């Protein structure tokens, strides 16, 4: 598994929001602060909003805020909202088309490794990263 810049930038942007929970931040401010393309960050925030991790606030004081307290949002939620596939090997993915799967002797290794990564990401929340 290789995480894309979507996850890296998305996590950094959410930490900006987590650092100022009482303030809605404009996307342009976050993009500038984190040196991320505004257009790219807009696409990332669209996914984060669909995953209900952030809320948009309209108006003169508009911007974005976290949908829940930082301590209630874990890194796994962020990464899974932004990545297409979180599995290490194709046989663990949605398609499971590997012809060796029924007799595979290594599947236990890949499952355990996937579970370890998932549980690690779930154990870390945004508040801890501040």
**Reduced DSSP (H G I as helix, E B as strand, rest coil) percent helix, strand, coil of the chain, to 5:** 55, 10, 35
In a 3-state reduction of DSSP, which class is residue 23?
Answer: coil
Quick one: pLDDT at residue 25?
97
Using an 8 Å Cβ cutoff, are 17 and 65 in contact?
yes
Total of domains in the chain: 1
Instruction: Return d(Cα 38, Cα 36) in angstroms, integer.
Output: 6
Kindly report, residue by residue over 3-54, the tens digit of the pLDDT: 999 999 999 999 999 999 989 999 999 999 999 999 999 999 999 999 999 9
The answer on pLDDT for 60 being more than 80 is yes
Task: Report the distance separating Cα 110 and Cα 69, nearest Å.
Answer: 33
Residue 83: Cβ within 10 Å count: 17
Average pLDDT rounded to a whole number, residues 115-120 = 95
The CATH number given to whatever domain includes residue 73 is 1.10.10.10
- Of the listed ranges 40-49, 84-93, 105-114, the least confidently predicted one is 84-93
Please give the share of the chain, as a percent, with pLDDT higher than 90: 72
Q: What is the distance between the alpha carbons of residues 117 and 83, in angstroms, rounded to a whole number?
A: 14
Q: What are phi and psi of 88, to 5 degrees?
A: -80, -35
Domain residue limits at 36: 5-129
Closest CA to 21 of 127, 129, 128, 125: 127
**Is pLDDT at 93 greater than 80 in this prediction?**
no
Predicted confidence at residue 95, as pLDDT, reads 64
Quickly count: other Cβ atoms within 10 Å of residue 39's Cβ.
9
């Amino acid at each position: 598994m290789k995480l894309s810049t979507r996850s890296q930038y998305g996590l950094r942007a959410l930490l900006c929001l987590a650092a100022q929970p009482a303030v809605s931040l404009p996307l342009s401010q976050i993009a500038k602060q984190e040196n991320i393309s505004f257009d790219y960050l807009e696409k990332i925030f669209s996914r984060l909003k669909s995953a209900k991790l952030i809320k948009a606030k309209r108006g003169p004081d508009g911007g974005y805020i976290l949908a829940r307290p930082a301590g209630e949002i874990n890194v796994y939620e962020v990464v899974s909202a932004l990545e297409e596939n979180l599995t290490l090997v194709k046989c663990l993915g949605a398609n499971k088309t590997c012809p060796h799967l029924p007799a595979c002797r290594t599947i236990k290794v890949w499952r355990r490794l996937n579970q370890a990564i998932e549980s690690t990401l779930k154990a870390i929340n945004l508040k801890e990263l501040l």
